[in-house]
Amino acid sequence: SQQGEEDPQALSIQEGENATMNCSYKTSINNLQWYRQNSGRGLVHLILIRSNEREKHSGRLRVTLDTSKKSSSLLITASRAADTASYFCATDSYTSGTYKYIFGTGTRLKVLA
Amino acid sequence: EAQVTQNPRYLITVTGKKLTVTCSQNMNHEYMSWYRQDPGLGLRQIYYSMNVEVTDKGDVPEGYKVSRKEKRNFPLILESPSPNQTSLYFCASSSQGRGTGELFFGEGSRLTVL
C-alpha cells in the first residue's frame, strides 16, 4: 500500500545545529502535514502545507514541498534538546471511496546538549 | 481544554478476552479514527468515522470493530484479541475529514495480548 517514507530514519545532531528530514510519497496529494511524537506519546501537529504551496514557515520550522518529485522536507533551525522526538509526515489519500491519512515511518531526531 | 481522551492507557490481557478501548473528544469533531503503531511500520489506520453512524475500514481492520453512536465517542472493540494485536493504539479526531485537516491525537493505549 502507498506510504510516505522519511529519510533519514535516525538523526543525531548537536544543540544549535539545523536538522533536516525528508519525506517522499507515492500519489498525488491535496496537502502534506508534519507531526511530532515524543517517546510513546500522542502525535502533535506541527504544520500543514497545501499542494499549491512550495514553502511554509512556522517559528523555527520550515517546510518545503515539491509535488513534481513527490517529496517534502522539514527543517528545524537552531535545534534544542527539547526537539528530541520522532517526526512523521502524513499525506491525504482518497482511494476507492476511502479517505485516509497516510503516515510515514518517521525520523527519530536526537539533539545532544 | 481541547483534548482526545483514551482509556485505558495500559492494558495486559489474554488471548480471546474481549476488550474495549474508549475514545472521547470534546471538540465537536466529525472525523475520528483509530491507528496502531508498531516498530518500523509507522502508523496504520484501523477504522475511521466521518460522522455519527458512519464508519469505514482503514488499512488494517481485521480483528477490530468500532461504533459511532455519539459524535464525541469512538470506541475500538477487540472481540477476540490475539498476540499480533499487541501494539500502541491511538485515537485521533479532526474538524475536517477527508484527510485534509489537522489531526488531534490521544495519548495512546498500550495493549499487550498474552
Closest-CA distance of chain A to residue B102, Å: 7
pLDDT band at A101 (very low <50, low <70, confident <90, very high): confident
pLDDT at site A69 = 94
B103: how many CB neighbours lie within 10 A of its CB?
A: 27
pLDDT of A21 higher than 80: yes
The burial of B62, by beta-carbon neighbours within 10 Å (0-12 exposed, 13-18 middle, 19 or more buried), is given as exposed
Percent composition of chain A: helix, strand, coil (DSSP 3-state, to 5)? 5, 60, 35
The pLDDT of residue A3 is 53
| Position B29, amino acid | H
Q: If DSSP codes are grouped into helix, strand and coil, which group holds residue B83?
A: helix
Question: Would an 8 Å CB–CB cutoff place B59 in contact with chain A?
Answer: yes
Is the pLDDT at A17 greater than 60? The verdict is: yes
Best B33, B38, B43, B51 member to test A by mutation, with max A CBs in 10 Å, is: B43
Output phi, psi for B59, to 5 deg: -80, -30
- The span from the CA of B10 to the CA of B20, in Å, is 12
Separation between Cα atoms, residue A92 and residue A84, nearest integer Å = 26
Inspect the interface and report whether the beta carbons of B42 and A103 lie closer than 8 Å.
yes
pLDDT tens-place string over residues B30-53:
999 999 999 888 899 999 999 999
State whether A42 and B90 contact (CB < 8 Å). Answer: yes
Q: What is the mean pLDDT of residues B98-109?
A: 88
- The Cα–Cα gap between B83 and B27 comes to 34
Least CA distance to A4: which residue of chain B? B42
Query: Which residues on chain B are in Cβ contact (under 8 Å) with A104?
Result: 42
**Candidate from A72-81, A95-104, B73-82 with smallest mean pLDDT:** A95-104
Count other Cβ atoms within 10 Å, centred on residue A43: 28
- What length is written for chain A? 113
The pLDDT, as a whole number, for residue A1 is 32
Q: Which residue from A41, A93, A101 is facing B103, i.e. has the nearest CB?
A: A101
**How is residue B73 annotated by DSSP?**
B
Residue that wins the pLDDT comparison between B106 and A98? B106
Q: Tens of pLDDT along A22-76?
A: 999 988 888 999 999 998 899 999 999 999 999 999 999 999 999 999 999 999 9
Å from B98 to nearest chain A CA? 5
Please report the pLDDT score of residue B101 as a whole number. 85
Chain B CB contacts of A87 under 8 Å are: none
Rounded mean pLDDT, A76-84? 97
Question: What's residue B108's pLDDT?
Answer: 97
